[in-house]
Chain A
């Protein structure tokens, strides 16, 4: 079974703080993704990575950056958190094809 884990289920941060969300997968997948999920908007792609040190912007990259130093780990960074980044963040990974495997999500609240 593919396992995708995320470092925190719930996180509360203050405006302006730097926030790190970590994602780890154990199936040697090349591709990893970060989404945010908001009511009425569905899942929207923030960034993805197709290999170590490689990254591509998704549909809503503004205010975020990512890091992929090892194949199994993909980090999402909020350089200066803002209240409009309060959301559920989902990480996913895949090898070939389109099926993506998701982590349990991190619910981030920015006060």
Chain B
């Protein structure tokens, strides 16, 4: 069974802290790993990773994939209250000929002022 596990489940930090969110996976037919940010509405796309060891960066957020150890991390530096959200990790797979995403349960991040 395809599985994506995120840790921690929830996290409270102070503004300015750096956080690291974890995502590990066990899937067949891996194609990519995606990170989404979900506030009180639609999940919004952050990153898609397909190759090991290549960091993707967008402002204070960065992410890297390790396909040998089957995990990814999402780093947020100098956190702000606007970073408070659920962060979803999803793995793209091919199953019965179709591309699908398998989601983790998410990490709920709260950044306090």
Which of under 10, 10 to 19, 20 to 34, or 35 or more describes the interface residues of B? 20 to 34
Most buried by A among B31, B34, B45, B99: B99
Question: 7 closest A-B pairs (Cβ-Cβ)?
Answer: A98-B92, A42-B105, A102-B42, A43-B103, A104-B41, A42-B103, A98-B32
A66 at the interface (CB under 8 A from B): no
Q: In the complex, are the beta carbons of A104 and B42 less than 8 A apart?
A: yes
Query: What are the residues of chain A within 8 A of B98 when measuring CB–CB?
Result: 48, 50, 56
Which residues on B are within 8 Å of A, measured CB to CB?
4, 31-32, 34, 36, 41-45, 48, 88, 90, 92, 96, 98-101, 103-106
State whether the Cβ of A101 lies closer than 8 Å to any Cβ in chain B. yes
Determine the chain A residues whose CB is within 8 A of the CB of B41 once the complex forms. 104-105
Q: Quick one: which of A35, A41, A56 contacts B105, CB cutoff 8 A?
A: A41
Decide if B45 touches A98 in the complex (CB within 8 Å). no
A76 on interface, CB distance cutoff 8 Å? no
Q: Mark A67-111, 1 if CB is under 8 A from B, else 0.
A: 000000000000000000000001000000111111111000000
Q: Please, how many angstroms separate the alpha-carbon atoms of A56 and B100 in the complex?
A: 11
Q: Within the complex, which residue of A42, A97, A98 is in contact with B88, where a contact is CB–CB below 8 Å?
A: A42
**Further pairs besides A31-B99, A44-B103, A56-B96: 6, Cβ < 8 Å:** A42-B4, A48-B98, A90-B42, A98-B31, A101-B45, A105-B41
In the bound complex, what is the Cα–Cα distance between A35 and B84 (angstroms)? 23
| Contact across chains for A4 and B45 when beta carbons are under 8 A apart | no
- Which residues 8-56 in A have Cβ within 8 Å of B in the complex? 31, 35, 40-45, 48, 50, 56
